[in-house]
Structure 1
């Protein structure tokens, strides 16, 4: 984390997103007649035990809100916890008895391989999709390193250390092929979850083969438009950057969702007093609403950090 973030975080690069071609759309009435609004709880980048910080109180706050809100499911978007000394985190997570979904983040493999953390989380597959109440959800795994010979290797026990930024955050070809087929077969509007951003990020050197993914998204939406079907990609939710951003590209809403815990800059980790998370509502009429949480910095934080990095997940109401 320190090596990755120290280059750009303190030089004050603007947080504004570039807005490209957008086109709002609603799901065809034939596909919405029996569908209700869907609501899910979202949290990302908890980073339990990162820098030795126990984040049980943050996940407890999130789950307590989840139990009050009673969403249709919850999802954590990566960098959640390690496979040891995290039983209390999973105990809190499992207080919610409804459907729960995991996304692999890079730091989840700081001390183990993917299979180990997936077993600890009870996560059957590293990438997958599911349908829920008239929406199609896709979970991606972007945790591959590109070797000098062009081959990819899984993130495994901090093995990314020797790799320079351009070799990180790749997605394997088998998954890209699956993604293309999965989107083509989807029957409903699509929501995507991934840890590392493919759009809006300042860390342009750490986007791996993001262009390959964006081309698949673009083609999927172009095909859906031509065929006048309701399976366009509506939104992509991303973590990793510990930032709060929204932008559109070719009809897709992209959201970088802020960390539940802190932002890291050259001056160190600056923790939020209260945890950040969100509840997201999908209306089959074509409206996406984000209700985010806000906080303040907990400790002495330089003014330049306070001015650049918001302690919130912003509220949004957008058409898709």
Structure 2
């Protein structure tokens, strides 16, 4: 985050932006009576050990809430930690693993500040860098957008901060192998699709750091067009993203996109502004065709600039939208 946010340029863009598009699909009533509501806990951009600051207490706060709410699963959407060695994440992993239900990881750029993908995935017990799974009438997709585009057009994995010296337009790419997999996965899905990724493909004001986002949006559009023609129930319904440390919702071609705020801080030209309490959300998917986000609000730890407080609210907003 610290090398990307242009606070002065972005001051006029309001958080919580909503862009209107086509209405999204609803799950047939004949099916909804056969399925239960699904609820999961969501946290992103914890940034454990960013600026040398441990975030064990924030993780404990999230997991305490998880243990109380007992969701069907939990997911962290990237920039979880930046360890220099395994011992550096022992505390937060112990907290994370207090929840005995299913747990899912998404790779974020800062997770590879000091290591490669294989190393951090081993620390997390994350078998694949991108994958999908079904649960209770929904299909979930996890993506990896952590590739750099070299001058010759080839892509290379993020590894030990190798993206730092490169200009923003060369970041946040998704490899062709994964794009091909995504097309097939969406085509073969049997249920409404929910996508998790770290770097946004929509709503972001980091316009020069979208990588090949248009390739992904095109795949989503084509998948939903084909599903509509065949009258199947495997449309992409919602996409959850982190990375921007912001709180936004928009709708594009029948898909709800959410940028979920950081658990820990926002970074501007004036530095890192930390939140007093951790931010996280519990998200409910109702087979009747509704998505509900129960967010959380806090304050800044220290008195900060008026323009920072105005531009970057310390919250994850509540939402209730039709799917």
Q: Same fold (TM over 0.5)?
A: yes
User: 1:248-287 to 2 correspondence within 5 Å?
Assistant: 248-287=251-290
Match of 1:230 in 2: 233
How far apart in 2 are the matches of 1:39 and 1:9?
38
Match of 2:41 in 1: 41
Offset of residue 224 of structure 1:
1.1
Query: Cα gap change, 1:62/1:4 in structure 2, threshold over 3 Å: closer, same or farther?
Result: same
Q: Does 1:150 align with 2:166?
A: no
Unaligned runs of 5+ in 2: none
How far apart in 1 are the matches of 2:97 and 2:24?
36
- 175-184 vs 18-27, greater mean Cα deviation: 18-27
SS at match of 1:213: helix
SS at match of 1:205: coil
SS at match of 1:174: helix
Match of 1:191 in 2: 194
Match of 1:60 in 2: 60
How far apart in 2 are the matches of 1:30 and 1:177?
33
How far apart in 2 are the matches of 1:105 and 1:11?
23
How far apart in 2 are the matches of 1:286 and 1:91?
36
SS at match of 1:311: coil
User: 1:1-320 to 2 correspondence within 5 Å?
Assistant: 1-5=1-5, 7-8=6-7, 11-15=10-14, 17=17, 19-83=19-83, 84=85, 85-320=88-323
Offset of residue 81 of structure 1:
1.1
Q: CA RMSD in A?
A: 1.2
How far apart in 2 are the matches of 1:237 and 1:87?
27
How far apart in 2 are the matches of 1:303 and 1:124?
44
How far apart in 1 are the matches of 2:274 and 2:33?
45
Offset of residue 11 of structure 1:
4.4
Query: How many matched pairs?
Result: 319
SS at match of 2:285: strand
TM-score with structure 2 setting the length: 0.96
1:263-301 Cα distance to aligned partner (Å, 9 max, x none):
000110000000000000000000000000100000121
SS at match of 1:4: coil
Offset of residue 54 of structure 1:
1.1
SS at match of 1:206: coil
SS at match of 1:82: coil
How far apart in 2 are the matches of 1:81 and 1:265?
20
How far apart in 2 are the matches of 1:11 and 1:31?
44
How far apart in 2 are the matches of 1:271 and 1:90?
22
Offset of residue 10 of structure 1:
6.0
Offset of residue 42 of structure 1:
0.1
Offset of residue 9 of structure 1:
5.6
Assess if the C-alpha contact under 8 Å between 1:271 and 1:298 holds in 2.
yes
Assess if the C-alpha contact under 8 Å between 1:143 and 1:168 holds in 2.
yes
How far apart in 2 are the matches of 1:310 and 1:10?
17
Assess if the C-alpha contact under 8 Å between 1:8 and 1:203 holds in 2.
no
1:200-238 Cα distance to aligned partner (Å, 9 max, x none):
000010000000000000111111111111111110000
